[in-house]
A and B are shown apart, each in its own frame.
Chain A
Amino acid sequence: MTAAAAIGRAVRGRRDTGGRAGPLKAAERRAGILFSLPVILLTGAFLFLPILQTFYYSLTTWDGITASWVGLDNYRQLFSDPVFWRVLLNNAFLLASIPFAILIPLVVAFLLHQHVPGWRFFRSVYFLPTAISWVVIGMVALRVFAAEGILNTVLRILGLGAIRTDMLTNEYTAMLAVAITFIWSVFGTNTIIFITGMATLDRDFYEAARVDGAGSWAVFRYITIPLLMRFIQFAFILTVITGFTALFSLIFVMTSGGPGYGTTTLEFFVYQKAFAQGVFGYAAAIGAVLFAIVFAISLVQRRLLRSRED
């Protein structure tokens, strides 16, 4: 999980201009290098080296041992592969589900913020699922969406037995099941972000609006949401990145990417190509595309934040 929001600020930092003497400065420099060395070596060897290798090997045919240069062939092949576009469509589907992953927590956070009895308890309960793995979530989600599953039982109890579902056996509804599970999983984190945000808002705004006779909806729509924009943006970007980079385990357990390519997202596609089919070079090209997309999203995010700060 990340925090693009404060990066600009953190990097720019504070420039303290202490006037220390020469030898001391050299000692400080030496200490700085020594203390930063472990993290540089660790991330250099196991994070930055592999990303460079990914770009290099994406220009080769590679099976893990030998690699021969093929230029942009992997990319050409990828962009003309209908499966790749099918996979991108799945990612787009997830992207389209994100407004729900923002709006539902926003409404619930608003309700919690009214300090209904037991709100602290509710807050802990809502955040609890962030502690369990995607594997476990996927396990339970399977039983929820199965033909003889819990969703159908609930529908029957509600007298809606007519809309019996069998979501996991159809390409499109399987993706819907994954998206619903995704929304469920990020609910806690987003709710906490919004509650934290609401706690920073000035109570006077609400009082003023109430005095002017605004109803709950008007307060929510015209006061809470605009004032929370920074938090909504943060939650949005976090959710987008989660959707693009963190759903591997969920898909692995729930659908294995199927039926067909129905729930194969970009990250799952990399895994399939590399570790099921062994075409490392081609898979590296998919990994590079994924990197480019996530990088672009973070850049947009930074620009948005900067324009807001000015």
Chain B
Amino acid sequence: MYRLRRRVTRGAMFGILCLVAVVMLFPFLFMGLMSFRSYDQYLTGSGFSLDSWAGLLRAIPVVQQLVNSTVVTLAAVFIILAVSTMGGYAFAKLRFPGRTVILLAIIGGMMVPLQSIIIPEFVNVAQLGLINKYPGAVLVYAALGAPFATFLMTTYFRGVPTELVEASLIDGASYAQTFARVMVPLATPALVTVAVLQFIQIWDDLLIGLLFLQVPDVRTITVGLATLQSSHIIDVPVLMAGSLVSALPAVIVYLIFQRYLIAGLTMGMGK
């Protein structure tokens, strides 16, 4: 009797989890299925066609925008990694005046809502003449990602024994050499975590791309997709093809590095 009840409960639990899985996977299924239909086939609900993919290529410069996304995202991630690793090393292992206050301020920067700074940011970048140019968006993305990355790297470097730094210094290495030869190699897992988190976040962003990269030829794919939608194209299969293309790179990064993402989340909790 007890066994039977246990079986039924486990069966029910499995059923619920499957149902939730369907709900979570639904957008992927929908995008995948619908993008391979022409508009007429979408309305009738069956068939297979590459019309929508051709339509997407006509509507926005897909390849160019994928390249834009890649360049902007990788450049910003690179800057974030560089400044947060150096900063993390300084805040965790070197004593200099003001370090506690500065670290507190930078960590506080995580709490600043993008919308609270976006207007002056836009005007400043415009005055630098960097609207519609990669470096403008890259610097903004990098500055927004830097606080959390610096926080993670500082936490990580705190866990590295100070003896390692001291031993390296006693061996005659400079602080810079110690950083390059001892700290950076040790930090690889944290670096991957930061890179993956930031890659997904920047790739998926809309607002900064929308404001700072306004011309179709420099837009990121996420922005290209959003403008496709707001230009009132009602051709759902084309929109779904665009959604799939824009989502895929971040999803692939996720699938390869998911354990680093989970690690990032737990590091964020201070575990």
List chain A positions with a Cβ less than 8 A from chain B: 1-7, 9-11, 13-14, 16, 18, 24-25, 27-36, 38-40, 42-43, 45-51, 53-54, 57, 64, 108, 111-112, 114, 116-119, 122, 124-140, 143, 150, 184, 187-189, 192-193, 196, 200, 216, 231, 234, 241, 244-245, 248-249, 252-253, 256, 266-267, 270-271, 274-275, 280, 283-284, 287-288, 290-291, 294-295, 298
Are A47 and B206 neighbours in the complex by a CB distance under 8 Å? no
A271 touches B90 (CB 8 A): no
**Secondary structure dominating the interface of A:** helix
> Which of B91, B115, B121 meets A290, CB within 8 Å?
B115
- Given the interface pairs A6-B155, A245-B113, the reply to whether A46 lies near B99 with Cβ below 8 Å is no
CB neighbours (8 Å) of B253 from chain A are: 131
Tell me if A32 and B148 are in contact (CB < 8 A).
no
Given A39-B150, A108-B20, answer yes or no on A125-B120 (Cβ-Cβ < 8 Å): no
B162 within 8 A of partner (CB):
yes
Q: In whole Å, how far is A259's beta carbon from the nearest beta carbon of chain B?
A: 16
Q: Complex formed: what's the CA distance from A291 to B107 in Å?
A: 15
Residues in B neighbouring A6, C-beta threshold 8 A:
155, 268-270
Q: How far is the CB of B81 from chain A (nearest CB, A)?
A: 11
Whether, in the assembled complex, B215 has its beta carbon less than 8 Å from a beta carbon of chain A, the answer is no
Distance from A285 Cβ to chain B, minimum over Cβ atoms (Å): 10
Of B23, B179, B204, which contacts A134 at CB under 8 A?
Answer: B204
The 21 sampled A-B contact pairs (Cβ below 8 Å) are: A2-B111, A5-B269, A36-B96, A38-B82, A42-B139, A46-B144, A47-B117, A64-B126, A116-B14, A125-B21, A125-B24, A128-B24, A128-B28, A131-B250, A133-B250, A136-B243, A136-B247, A140-B31, A245-B115, A270-B116, A280-B123
Determine whether the beta carbon of A36 is less than 8 Å from that of B90.
Answer: yes
In the complex the two chains form, is A196's CB within 8 Å of B262's CB?
A: yes
B204 to chain A, nearest CB (A): 3
Q: How far is the CB of A89 from chain B (nearest CB, A)?
A: 18
Q: How many angstroms between the C-alpha atoms of A196 and B262 in the bound complex?
A: 9
Selected contact of A291 from candidates B113, B174, B176, B258, CB within 8 Å: B113
Q: How far is the CA of A214 from the CA of B157 in the complex (A)?
A: 44
Contacts known (A53-B120, A234-B269); A248 close to B250, Cβ less than 8 A = no
Main secondary structure on B side of the interface with A: helix
What is the interface residue range for chain B against chain A?
A: 35 or more
B95 located at the interface, meaning its Cβ lies under 8 Å from any Cβ of chain A in the complex: yes
Assess whether B266 is in contact with A196, with CB atoms less than 8 Å apart. yes
Cβ < 8 Å to A, chain B residues 134-177: 139-140, 142-144, 146-148, 150-151, 154-155, 158, 162, 166, 169, 174-176
Contact status B120-A54, CB under 8 Å:
yes
Q: Smallest Cβ distance from B144 to chain A, in angstroms?
A: 7
> With the chains together, A31 CA to B106 CA distance in Å?
19
CB–CB B23/A184 < 8 A? yes
Instruction: Check if B84 is an interface residue, CB within 8 A of chain A.
Output: yes
Q: Which 4 interchain pairs have the tightest Cβ spacing?
A: A6-B270, A32-B96, A3-B268, A46-B143
A45 to B136, CA, bound (A): 12
Q: Report the separation of the CA atoms of residues A254 and B105 in the bound assembly, to the nearest whole angstrom.
A: 35
Starting from the known contacts A117-B14, A133-B247, 17 additional A-B residue pairs (CB-CB under 8 Å) come to A1-B268, A3-B110, A10-B158, A13-B100, A32-B95, A32-B99, A36-B91, A40-B87, A43-B146, A50-B117, A50-B120, A51-B117, A114-B13, A122-B21, A140-B240, A184-B23, A248-B206
In angstroms, Cα B203 to Cα A270, docked, is 23
Contact of B86 among A39, A136, A274 (CB under 8 A): A39
